[in-house]
């Protein structure tokens, strides 16, 4: 087992990937190192930035420095004693079509230079190609994957089995299943770079999730060419453990300054919105006056700081169980990211099944996008599939949510419960109190202290999708329950009559009585008294 998992949230996981040169904490960003162009040296990345691992290109090294690399090894060549991963030249195949070397040659060369994590010479699918082309790249990459185990002579290298197929998800699934049957320690999703360059992040969600669901869960997943750090939280949440990026250097060449939510041209900056070690000591005006090479180094260093800072924020979000909240914040940095967050709804059940049931902190609910978060999906499933109301209860009393949680400890609920105790006595066992609330729909009194039903905050007024979600859950809950009568304390101001309409429709279908109390202020004393009187009379008539 090369990967050991320590913490999880959504599909994101903090773990430790063991290599012959030491362990790498995941999720990890591997900065791309071009041996010929280094605005930040590998040694500086390790000593000043704390990088545990980096990635370089074995094909480029083989093309320009074969003898030297074989003689001294890739670590001495780069002057880096951390973990080195090598790509094989697959991206060059995508760009140039032919790289003048073979899979066998690249495999043996990576062994000769003593890399820690190595990649077969895969054939990327690319973007905008036909399904027939996708099939060819998948089959050729699988063929080369099988070749590895006949060619390799060392057992101390972690080998990467790339998954191809591009946006053709059926071929991504076939590729992942077949690669997963081979004894690779790490897998990688190929061909994402064009998708990310065009900001088609919802397609990226589909690609990663298709690969993830068909790969062995105990293996690390690498994403080639992750690019800008504002995407890191999303790809980690989808289950990527490693990803590389050359964006820190590429953006610097074009005088682009990274921020948490995008990029800005250096020429447009009057102030640096950053307190990293390089930005805190100077001003945009001073940097604009630097010679071009010096300016590129400055920007590359800042961009790398921003990238590594985002990784730490993602990890902390996993530790606190707030990775979804982090995604929501980042999603407002660009419409394409928000669209990708919405696409997670397609995989809501899979995310729920693979997310922790309890966390260290409560949750924040902002809008209907949060209806796809695992905690909400899990409550809906368990409420409708597992929960059974107390067997003695005959009357459902539905109360609106209160600001204070748990609901049954609020002054509003307490007043009603106290009056029920006085007026109904033992007959109160026939009454079942539930709260209708966003985003969980129906919260039975006996469960409202169970995580996360009282450990959350929701922003109101609720949007239309959230109102419909709660109303639909109320309807579904009543449909399957055994109640003989329903009483609703209606809150028309906050719920626009949707819960009332849901109750009316399902009670008519089930042919059970519905009594609605709909005062101007739902929690005023007269409304509570009328409800208690009705309960008392109903139970007395029954007796």
Give the active site residues. 87
**What span, in angstroms and rounded, lies between the C-alpha atoms of 72 and 436?**
68
DSSP string, 298-350: HHHHHHHHHHHHHHHHHHHHHHHT-HHHHHHHHHTT-HHHHHHHHHGGGGHHH
Residue 145, classed as helix, strand or coil, is helix
DSSP 175-227: HHHHHHTS--SEEEE-S-HHHHHTT-HHHHHHHHHHHHHHS-TTSEEEES---
Read off the tokens for 280. Answer: 């805190």
**In Å, what is the CA distance from 456 to each residue of 79, 360, 368, 404?**
49, 12, 15, 10
The answer to whether 242 and 27 are in contact (CB under 8 A) is: yes
Selection from 17, 365, 16, 513 nearest residue 7 by Cα: 16
For the chain, give the number of residues. 543
Tokens 């169970």 -> residue: 450
Cβ–Cβ < 8 Å for 125, 133:
yes
Is the distance from CB of 253 to CB of 340 less than 8 angstroms? no
Q: Could you tell me the sign of the dihedral formed by the alpha carbons of 317, 372, 245, 215, in that order?
A: positive
The Cα–Cα gap between 360 and 4 comes to: 21
Q: What tokens does 198 get?
A: 């065009």
């Amino acid at each position: 087992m090369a990967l050991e998992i320590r913490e999880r949230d959504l599909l994101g996981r903090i773990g430790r990937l063991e290599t012959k040169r030491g362990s790498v904490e995941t999720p990890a960003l591997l900065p791309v190192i071009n041996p010929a162009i280094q605005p930040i040296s590998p040694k500086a990345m390790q000593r000043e930035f704390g990088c545990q691992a980096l990635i370089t290109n074995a094909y480029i090294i083989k093309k320009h420095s074969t003898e030297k690399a074989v003689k001294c090894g890739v670590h001495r060549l780069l002057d880096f004693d951390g973990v080195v991963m090598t790509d094989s030249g697959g991206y060059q195949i995508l760009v140039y079509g032919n790289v003048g070397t073979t899979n066998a040659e690249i495999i043996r060369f990576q062994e000769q230079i003593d890399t820690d994590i190595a990649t077969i010479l895969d054939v990327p699918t690319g973007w905008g190609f036909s399904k027939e082309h996708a099939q060819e790249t998948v089959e050729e990459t699988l063929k080369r994957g099988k070749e590895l185990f006949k060619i390799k002579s060392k057992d101390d290298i972690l080998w990467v089995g790339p998954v191809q197929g591009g946006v053709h998800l059926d071929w991504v699934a076939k590729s992942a299943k077949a690669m997963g049957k081979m004894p690779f320690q790490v897998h990688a999703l190929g061909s994402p770079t064009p998708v990310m360059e065009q900001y088609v992040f919802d397609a990226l969600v589909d690609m990663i999730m298709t690969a993830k669901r068909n790969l062995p869960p105990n293996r690390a997943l690498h994403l080639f060419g992750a690019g800008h750090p504002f995407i890191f939280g999303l790809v980690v949440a989808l289950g990527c453990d490693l990803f590389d990026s050359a964006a820190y250097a590429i953006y610097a060449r074009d005088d682009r300054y990274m921020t948490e939510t995008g990029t800005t041209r250096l020429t447009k900056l009057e102030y640096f919105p950053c307190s990293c070690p390089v930005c805190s000591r100077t001003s945009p005006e001073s940097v604009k006056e630097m010679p071009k090479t010096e300016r590129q180094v400055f920007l590359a260093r800042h961009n790398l700081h921003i990238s590594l800072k985002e990784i730490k924020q993602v990890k902390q979000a996993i530790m606190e169980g707030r990775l979804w909240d982090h995604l929501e914040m980042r999603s407002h940095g660009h419409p394409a990211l928000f669209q990708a967050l919405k696409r997670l709804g397609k995989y809501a059940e899979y995310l729920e099944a693979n997310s922790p049931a309890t966390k260290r902190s409560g949750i924040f609910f902002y809008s209907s996008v949060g209806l796809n978060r695992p905690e909400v999906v899990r409550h809906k499933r368990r409420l409708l599939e597992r929960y059974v109301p107390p067997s003695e209860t005959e009357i459902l009393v539905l109360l609106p949510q209160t600001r204070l949680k748990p609901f049954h400890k609020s002054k509003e609920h307490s007043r009603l419960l106290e009056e029920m105790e006085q007026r109904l006595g033992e007959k109160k066992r026939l009454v079942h109190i539930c709260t209708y609330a966003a985003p969980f729909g129906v919260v039975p009194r006996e469960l409202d202290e169970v995580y996360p039903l009282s450990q959350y905050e929701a922003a109101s007024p609720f949007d239309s999708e959230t109102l419909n979600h709660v109303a639909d859950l109320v309807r579904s809950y009543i449909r399957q329950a055994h109640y003989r009568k329903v009483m609703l304390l209606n809150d028309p101001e906050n719920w626009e009559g949707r819960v009332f309409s849901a109750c009316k429709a399902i009670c008519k279908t089930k042919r059970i009585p519905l009594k609605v109390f709909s005062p101007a202020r739902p929690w005023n004393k007269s409304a509570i008294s009328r409800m208690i009187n009705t309960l008392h009379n109903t139970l007395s008539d029954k007796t």
